[in-house]
Every structure is written in C-alpha cells, then in structure tokens.
Chain A
C-alpha cells in the first residue's frame, strides 16, 4: 500500500520563526490533506490540496503531485501553532480511506 513519510519528526521553534514541514508519498494520489492536532487532541483541517498552492493566513501549502510530495509552510510561528501536523492521502480503492503519516511534532516557545 501507499507509504507516507513526514519530516522532520520533531521541530522546536522560537516564536516568530518560519518553518517548512514535508510530506512524501510513495504513489500517485488525487488528493492530500494537512491536519493540525492541537495539544487538546483535536484534529483540525488545514488544507485539502491535491495540487498547487493554497494559503490561509500564516499557513500555506504546496503539493507537487508529479513528484509525490507536499510542503506545509508556517510563517511567523506562534505558541498556538504547537502540536502535531499530519498529512494524509487516500489509499487505492475508489473511496477516501486516508493513510496518515507519523506526523511532525512542533513546539513553539515564547
């Protein structure tokens, strides 16, 4: 089945710094989602981004489907950005059963 790898596994930032999180996947996909799991355990949708670039405030994401990777950019990080960031892609099979990466654990310090 499809494999999803995220890097780095852990990231520590000072408030205000920028960062880039990466998601590689082993097969072609027709969609990709980025999620933020906050410290309370809620899994929040960030982007649905099968290809191209999207921006939402300080966050943006780019997916290059032909090269099988996606990037999540966080600019001017804030302590509320802390948590775990997951990317997920659908498995084969004709419906949207998601395969998640192991996540990037981000800690933003004041």
Chain B
C-alpha cells in the first residue's frame, strides 16, 4: 500500500508569511507524529496525535506553531509569521498497531 505522503515537498517563503504543511499517513494508522530536522542533526519531536486528539505538543517551539488532525487522518502543521530560524526539514510519521514509525519524504522549508 501507499506510504506516508507529505506536501509540498519543498516550500520557499518570505519571512512573515504563514505556511501550512500537510501529512497524509498510511491508511488506518491511528498515531501520527511531526518532527523537525535541522541540517546535520537528527529529527526532533514536535507533536503527536492519537486519532484526532493532540496528545502531546510539548515539542512545538512557540505559539506560532500549531497542528491539527480534525478527522483522525490527514494532519496539517501550520507555522504563522515564519522566521528564518524555522527553515528545516519537517517530517511526519505514522504508526499502526505496532510501534514501528514510518516516515514520509518530508517537506523542506526555506524561509528567506
């Protein structure tokens, strides 16, 4: 079956603009995670959903970052008033009945 998909794959935006990053998990996967990966580093946790419930948002850096998963499937990570320091790879992962996390291809965000 299809894996985790993310869109857009690349996003270039100007400082101050809002961006919305989309994640479509593997069909039937109830758990969904967002991570951020800076260049040369490992991914860092941002937030976690179980079905539509956001159960942990402790990794979101500040209140410009928000995420939702209204119907328990597709999720959107929104960054308001983007800053240059937000530039990174944003990764989404999902898990089903097991604990293996499957990652999407990521969205590479560049804020000019």
B84-112 interface with A by 8 A CB criterion = 89, 91, 93, 95, 98-103, 105-106, 108
B55-110 interface with A by 8 A CB criterion = 55-56, 59, 89, 91, 93, 95, 98-103, 105-106, 108
A24-61 interface with B by 8 A CB criterion = 31, 33, 35, 41-45, 48
Chain B interface size, as a band, is: 20 to 34
CB contact under 8 A between A48 and B43, given known A95-B48, A95-B56: no
Give chain B's interface secondary structure class.
Answer: strand
User: B99 to A48, Cβ gap below 8 A?
Assistant: yes
User: A95 to B43, Cβ gap below 8 A?
Assistant: no
Measured between C-beta atoms, what is the minimum distance from A42 to chain B in Å?
5
A48 to B35, CA, bound (A): 19
| Number of A-B residue pairs with CB-CB distance less than 8 Å in the complex they form | 61
A27 to B71, CA, bound (A): 36
- B95 contact set on A, CB distance < 8 A: 96
A43 to B93, CA, bound (A): 10
A107 to B45, CA, bound (A): 27
- B56 contact set on A, CB distance < 8 A: 93, 95, 97
- B108 contact set on A, CB distance < 8 A: 41
Partner of A33, one of B48, B101, B105: B101
Kindly state whether residue A100 has any CB partner on chain B within 8 Å: yes
User: B45 to A43, Cβ gap below 8 A?
Assistant: no
User: B42 to A88, Cβ gap below 8 A?
Assistant: yes
Give a binary string over A76-110; 1 marks a CB under 8 Å from any B CB, 0 the rest.
Answer: 00000000001010110101111111110000000
A35 to B41, CA, bound (A): 13
Partner of A95, one of B35, B50, B89, B91: B50
Enumerate chain B interface residues (CB-CB to A < 8 A).
31, 33, 35, 41-45, 48, 50, 55-56, 59, 89, 91, 93, 95, 98-103, 105-106, 108
Query: Could you list some 19 contacts between A and B, CB below 8 A?
Result: A33-B101, A41-B89, A41-B105, A42-B103, A42-B106, A43-B106, A45-B100, A45-B103, A86-B42, A90-B99, A95-B56, A96-B33, A96-B99, A97-B56, A97-B59, A98-B43, A99-B45, A100-B42, A102-B42
